[in-house]
Amino acid sequence: DLKQLASYARRMRANVLVHGHTHHLDIKEKDGVLYVNPGSATGSYGGSSAEGPETFLILEIEGKRVKVKKFINGEETEELYEL
């Protein structure tokens, strides 16, 4: 829930908030905060038998610039965010 995550980000004065639980890669930017869920490095969704893509992220943070390197099933892409 982005509303709840925003509450945590405000309390911690965070510009980047890394979260999980859903096992789905997700990146959102809202009101100067980058919300990042790296997904699942194994492709497993918790205790279920469902499988998805193997995903993970590398964040390179320099001041207000955040480079997100996304790895999905071994393929790399990059996104740049200015916060």
As to burial, measured by CB atoms within 10 angstroms (0-12 exposed, 13-18 middle, 19+ buried), residue 50 is exposed
- Give the integer Cα–Cα distance in Å for 48 and 19: 20
Name the residue among 37, 42, 8, 41 with its Cα closest to residue 25.
37
Return per-residue pLDDT of the chain as tens, 83 residues.
Answer: 899 999 999 999 999 999 998 888 999 999 999 999 999 988 877 666 668 899 999 999 999 999 999 999 999 999 999 99
Note the pTM of the prediction, 2 decimals.
0.88
Task: State the distance between the two ends of the chain, measured CA to CA, in whole angstroms.
Answer: 21
Structure tokens given for 9: 């980000």
Element (H, E) at 10: helix 2-12
